[in-house]
A and B are shown apart, each in its own frame.
Chain A
Amino acid sequence: MKMKMLWLVLLLASPGLVQAQDIKLPADVEKLSAKAKETVEVTMDGPMLRWASKFLSAEDPEEAKCAKLVANLKGIYVRSFEFDKEGAYSAADVDALRSQLHSPVWSRVVGVRSERDGNNVDVFFKMEDDKMAGIVIIAAEAKELTFVNIVGPLEVDQLADLGGEFGIPKLSPKSLSKAQKGDRR
């Protein structure tokens, strides 16, 4: 695994942005920034997203698609922690966050636990009226911890385009919705 900056996506829901119960970053996870070699934090609510998207160029294909994706979003929240060594965070830290997603509005569509490389990934969809209203990604890797929350009406197709737009193969929504996998060796 590359020793690159670890993208930590943090689920933070500002009051009023999430109709279900708020998702808060546990205090112990917040403190991880003190131990992290590198921390990346992106917190953008609706007004900030609108403002930032004004600077997206319609002439740049990548930026144009980003603008379309962001147009209806209510927030994007990311936290990324990269550590020098393994064991810098505990499973309890991550479980405290996952437990907030055990509600009727959130569905876990991907849950992978890998003892081989220590990389665990969870993807949760929030559905409202049969449409995606948010996504949470938790990637707990050996030396990286990533939390992502994208809040707002989000078409699954847009989510697929998001994956393909940055030079990686498109992510099939069908493969995600079918892939409800539990633990594996």
Chain B
Amino acid sequence: MAEPLPAEKAADIAESDFAEIVRRHQVMVYSIAQHFLADRSAAEELAQDVFLQLHANLASLKSDDHVKFWLRKVTGHRCIDYKRRRGLPQVALDDVPECAAPAEAGDPLLSRRLRQLVASLPEKPRLIVILRYQEDMAAEEISNVLAMPVATVKSHLQRSLAMLREKMTRALGEVTI
């Protein structure tokens, strides 16, 4: 449900409102960046930049849904730009850091392998997979955020899933995930 933000201009928005927005969405923004870049310090730097940019653009955002949409869009674009500008190499499969979250259910070896494979996807498919499975977004929502045709989003998702499944099976034999 949309939660209307205060109608004041940017200069009038209380710092406490912005602080609340940061606290509400910091996990989402940081997680997208961390899963994409596979680098915690780079992810934090990028996430901070996103919120700084948000602060400058807050007056144009009308609801919490709009804020969330904007954050996802800008975070995604910044992730891709960050990687391209810094010429970060494709993440080597052994280099993906372990996440700080508690241990997941299921085989930790498989989970680690899957994280590595996701981090090795090309940029756009990687971002699409993250938005789909971290944010539980539908293909249509992802297409709106990334300004990409729905068919393209679905195509990337299908191919990425097929590749991930195939590589997981090949690497570890017939393993039930």
Chain A residues with CB under 8 Å of chain B are 4-5, 57, 59-63, 167
Contact = CB atoms under 8 A, between A and B. Distances in A.
B84 A59 contact: yes
Contact of B124 (A5, A60, A61, A167): A60
A43 to B, nearest CB: 15
B122 A60 contact: yes
16 contacts: A4-B151, A5-B151, A57-B84, A57-B122, A57-B123, A59-B84, A59-B90, A59-B122, A59-B123, A60-B122, A60-B123, A60-B124, A61-B122, A62-B122, A63-B122, A167-B159
A59 B159 CA distance: 18
Nearest to B89: A59
Contacts of B124: 60
B contact patch SS: helix
Contacts of A59: 84, 90, 122-123
Interface in B100-143: 122-124
B102 to A, nearest CB: 34
Contacts of A4: 151
Contacts of A5: 151
Q: List the 6 shortest-distance A-B pairs measured between CB atoms, nearest first.
A: A60-B122, A5-B151, A167-B159, A57-B123, A60-B123, A57-B84
Nearest to B151: A5
Nearest to B87: A59
Nearest to A58: B84
Interface string B42-53: 000000000000
Contacts of B123: 57, 59-60
Nearest to B154: A4
A153 B4 CA distance: 55
Nearest to B88: A59
Contacts of B159: 167
Nearest to A63: B122
Contacts of A60: 122-124
A63 B80 CA distance: 14
A4 B159 CA distance: 16
Contacts of A63: 122
A4 B151 CA distance: 9
Contacts of A57: 84, 122-123
A63 B151 CA distance: 17
